[in-house]
């Protein structure tokens, strides 16, 4: 069919050209015809010549029209035009036109950024000139995409689907070329693990490798091949070593890469962790590194805590392990976890919740000498971590410590649900719930809520052994005290406490109901207006009446 007739490329016809480009936006056929016409007539280089003329004479109206024209051509979203616009000959002219947005008071600085700021930095030398050119072209395409659509909505993102595909395909070609180079990835790993590599160079290598992995893992058809390549290079032991580095940027990039791996191929990491746990007796292992970063961070809010917690949960989730291991192997792994790692995770909690030497209401933490499993006489790795933690806690305020303890409690709540057998033994052996409920006195309500949520998870299992443990230890006392302290308030702690008692009433857990009524009914007389406690008392009396009837 006939192509669109283009106006002659002259200054006085720029308005006509701009109207033409705008008019075809919502017609797929007309967009295709206009793109072919622009390509066949070599129209884009001619427009860029007019741009040079307008800029030299400071023709503001013409520059604004050229901005509309060039942006409109990009919105045609045709690959045949991208090859021209992102070429070495045209790219600076294209971004130059995009500097003169009529909505801006002053022109942008895109050309200066591309020529002076955004230099192609080769952390590892790239020997193929065509590959180097492809990388440069792709980075320019990404930059232009960011200019014309910085924060696209879901609707707007569809306007540039071809440009997105162009960028993705270019990245895929780059990755394939780098993976085929037998010397490239080994050189990256060699420099990452070399102690002689300068800190800045190592940081740049990690940034590159993080981006390399981030895109590689999103390609399902190439993912397995890529993982096999990484496995041959000793990828996970290297990552484990990098997570223990002192440089925060290197450590953060290593954590991001591990997070990608856990998301896209959790079996790979779980298999490594299980083998490491079975074969090695030392404690410098991947799980230990993750736990140490969670409990030893001076700034929990900015230390990627949520990311690390997701990684740890994924690594010790029995349901996810079923893809790579039998039930017996999983059970053996959990035996090792509770023998070797759980003490590291609970070190700050067990150290922080002894009422004899911890004054939780103060603005700062007060530590006093004590004897126990984390004392200097005990040759336990958790003690070393505890010493690091104590040194850290002297430098931070109580809020940061509360953040760390809240993270630990979230992880332990996860363990209560997923590791029922092992966690039950550990909680009862260490009297962990009693130590946790000390935190309900904390001035930080979110920490008190975490402690209460931990107890709620335990009671939610409706396990007889747990129920006996709770009643024998009189562990409802801190919860009842919290209800009484907040009787005239309306807050989350009071609501969460009431939800706990309401759950016991609805589920008719008679053993706990009897304990609560027999031990706390007098104390709870002052909150008669709360129907939950009246309901508990009624349930208790009904059960007692039925038992008497049976005896009679």
- Check whether residue 445 and residue 309 sit in a common domain: yes
How do residues 257-302 score in pLDDT, each as one tens digit? Answer: 999 888 888 888 888 888 887 776 655 588 888 998 888 876 665 5
Whether 278 is covered by a domain: the verdict is no
- Check whether residue 136 and residue 27 sit in a common domain: yes
How do residues 234-247 score in pLDDT, each as one tens digit? Answer: 888 888 888 888 78
> What integer pLDDT is reported at residue 301 of this predicted model?
58
- Check whether residue 108 and residue 165 sit in a common domain: yes
Local confidence band at 350 (pLDDT 50, 70, 90 cut-offs) = confident
Question: What percentage of the chain carries pLDDT values higher than 70?
Answer: 86
Local confidence band at 359 (pLDDT 50, 70, 90 cut-offs) = very low
Whether 497 is covered by a domain: the verdict is yes
- Check whether residue 418 and residue 545 sit in a common domain: no
Question: What percentage of the chain carries pLDDT values higher than 90?
Answer: 31
> What is the SS3 assignment for 389-456?
HHHHHCCCCHHHHHHHHHHHHHHHHHHHHHCHHHHHHHHHHHCHHHHHHHHHHCCCHHHHHHHHHHHH
- Check whether residue 223 and residue 330 sit in a common domain: no
> What integer pLDDT is reported at residue 368 of this predicted model?
29
Task: Give per-residue burial for 435-455: e unless 16+ CB within 10 Å, then b.
Answer: bbbbbbbbebeebbbbbbbbb
- Check whether residue 191 and residue 172 sit in a common domain: no
Whether 173 is covered by a domain: the verdict is yes
Q: How many CB atoms lie within 10 A of CB 204?
A: 16
Number of structural domains, the chain? 4
Cα–Cα distance for residue pair 305/400, rounded to 1 Å: 12
User: Comparing 279 with 252, which gets the higher pLDDT?
Assistant: 252
> What integer pLDDT is reported at residue 393 of this predicted model?
40
- Check whether residue 172 and residue 187 sit in a common domain: no
Identify the domain boundary among 437, 461, 485.
461
* Residue at token pair 């079923």: 322
- Check whether residue 340 and residue 210 sit in a common domain: no
Cα 497 vs. chain centroid, distance in angstroms? 30
How do residues 429-455 score in pLDDT, each as one tens digit? Answer: 999 999 999 999 888 899 999 999 999
- Check whether residue 443 and residue 502 sit in a common domain: no
Q: Which ranges in 57-148 belong to alpha helices (H)?
A: 60-75, 79-85, 91-97, 110-112, 129-148
Whether 359 is covered by a domain: the verdict is no
Mean pLDDT (whole number) for 210-224: 84
Confidence (pTM): 0.73
pLDDT for 504 beyond 90: yes
pLDDT for 552 beyond 80: no
> What integer pLDDT is reported at residue 360 of this predicted model?
36
- Check whether residue 237 and residue 252 sit in a common domain: yes
Mean pLDDT (whole number) for 336-355: 82
Cα–Cα distance for residue pair 43/70, rounded to 1 Å: 11
Are 318 and 335 contacting, i.e. CB atoms less than 8 angstroms apart?
no
pLDDT for 397 beyond 70: no
Q: Which residues contact 399 (CB under 8 A, 6 or more apart)?
A: 444
> What integer pLDDT is reported at residue 53 of this predicted model?
93
> What mean pLDDT is reported for the chain?
83
Q: How many CB atoms lie within 10 A of CB 279?
A: 7
Whether 255 is covered by a domain: the verdict is yes
Cα–Cα distance for residue pair 519/374, rounded to 1 Å: 35
> What integer pLDDT is reported at residue 190 of this predicted model?
87
Identify the domain boundary among 264, 287, 309.
264
User: What backbone phi and psi angles, to 5 degrees, belong to 304?
Assistant: 70, 35
> What integer pLDDT is reported at residue 286 of this predicted model?
87
Whether 241 is covered by a domain: the verdict is yes
Domain range for 445 is 297-354+382-461
Cα–Cα distance for residue pair 479/136, rounded to 1 Å: 62
Structure token digits, residue 132: 């180097």
DSSP state of 122: -
Pick from 145, 133, 132, 134: nearest CA to 170: 134
- Give the lowest-confidence range in 45-49, 202-206, 421-425: 202-206
- Check whether residue 392 and residue 410 sit in a common domain: yes
- Check whether residue 328 and residue 413 sit in a common domain: yes
Cα–Cα distance for residue pair 281/396, rounded to 1 Å: 33
> What integer pLDDT is reported at residue 155 of this predicted model?
52
Cα–Cα distance for residue pair 106/108, rounded to 1 Å: 7
User: Comparing 443 with 366, which gets the higher pLDDT?
Assistant: 443
> What integer pLDDT is reported at residue 281 of this predicted model?
61
Identify the domain boundary among 436, 461, 486.
461
How do residues 509-550 score in pLDDT, each as one tens digit? Answer: 999 999 999 999 888 887 766 788 888 888 989 888 888 888
Q: Is residue 378 left, alpha or beta, with left meaning phi > 0 and alpha meaning psi from -120 to 50?
A: beta
């Amino acid at each position: 069919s006939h192509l669109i007739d283009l106006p002659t490329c002259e200054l006085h016809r720029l308005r006509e050209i701009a109207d033409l480009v705008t008019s075809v936006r919502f017609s797929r056929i007309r967009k295709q015809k206009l793109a072919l016409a622009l390509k066949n007539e070599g129209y884009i280089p001619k427009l860029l010549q007019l741009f040079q003329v307008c800029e030299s004479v400071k023709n503001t109206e013409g520059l604004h029209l050229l901005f509309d024209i060039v942006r409109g051509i990009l919105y045609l979203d045709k690959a045949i035009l991208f090859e021209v616009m992102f070429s070495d000959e045209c790219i600076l002219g294209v971004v130059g036109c995009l500097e003169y947005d009529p909505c801006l008071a002053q022109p942008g600085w895109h050309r200066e950024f591309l020529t002076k700021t955004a230099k192609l930095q080769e952390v590892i030398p790239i020997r193929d000139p065509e590959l180097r050119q492809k990388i440069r072209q792709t980075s320019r395409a990404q930059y232009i995409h960011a200019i014309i659509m910085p924060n696209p909505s879901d609707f707007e993102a569809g306007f540039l689907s071809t440009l997105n595909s162009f960028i993705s395909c270019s990245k895929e070609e780059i990755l394939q070329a780098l993976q085929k180079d037998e010397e490239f990835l080994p050189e990256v790993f060699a420099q990452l693990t070399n102690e002689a590599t300068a800190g800045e160079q190592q940081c740049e290598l990690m940034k590159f490798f993080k981006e390399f992995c981030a895109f590689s893992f999103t390609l399902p058809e190439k993912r397995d091949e890529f993982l096999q390549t990484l496995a041959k290079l000793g990828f996970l032991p290297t990552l484990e070593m990098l997570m223990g580095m002192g440089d925060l940027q290197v450590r953060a990039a290593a954590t991001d890469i591990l997070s990608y791996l856990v998301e896209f191929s959790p079996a790979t990491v779980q298999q490594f962790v299980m083998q490491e746990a079975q074969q090695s007796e030392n404690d410098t292992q991947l799980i230990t590194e993750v736990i140490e970063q969670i409990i030893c961070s001076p700034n929990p809010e900015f230390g990627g805590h949520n990311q690390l917690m997701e990684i740890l949960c994924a690594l010790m989730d029995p349901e996810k392990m079923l893809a790579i291991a039998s039930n017996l192997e999983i059970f053996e792994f959990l035996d090792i976890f509770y023998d070797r790692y759980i003490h590291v995770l609970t070190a700050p909690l067990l150290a922080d919740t002894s009422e004899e030497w911890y004054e939780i209401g103060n603005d700062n933490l007060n530590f006093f000498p004590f004897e126990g499993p984390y004392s200097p006489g005990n040759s336990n790795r958790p003690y070393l971590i505890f010493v690091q933690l104590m040194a850290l806690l002297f430098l931070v305020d109580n809020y940061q410590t509360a953040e760390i303890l809240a993270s630990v409690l979230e992880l332990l709540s996860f363990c209560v649900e997923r590791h029922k057998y092992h966690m039950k033994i550990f909680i009862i052996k260490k009297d962990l719930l009693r130590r946790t409920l000390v935190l309900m006195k904390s001035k930080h309500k979110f920490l008190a809520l975490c402690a209460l949520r931990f107890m709620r998870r335990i009671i939610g299992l409706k396990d007889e052994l747990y129920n006996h443990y709770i009643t024998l230890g009189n562990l409802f006392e801190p919860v009842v005290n919290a209800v009484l302290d907040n009787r005239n308030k309306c807050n989350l702690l009071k609501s969460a406490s009431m939800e706990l008692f309401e759950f016991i009433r609805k589920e008719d857990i008679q053993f706990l109901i009897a304990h609560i009524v027999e031990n706390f009914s007098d104390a709870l007389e002052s909150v008669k207006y709360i129907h939950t406690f009246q309901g508990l008392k009624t349930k208790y009396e009904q059960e007692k009446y039925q038992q008497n009837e049976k005896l009679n």
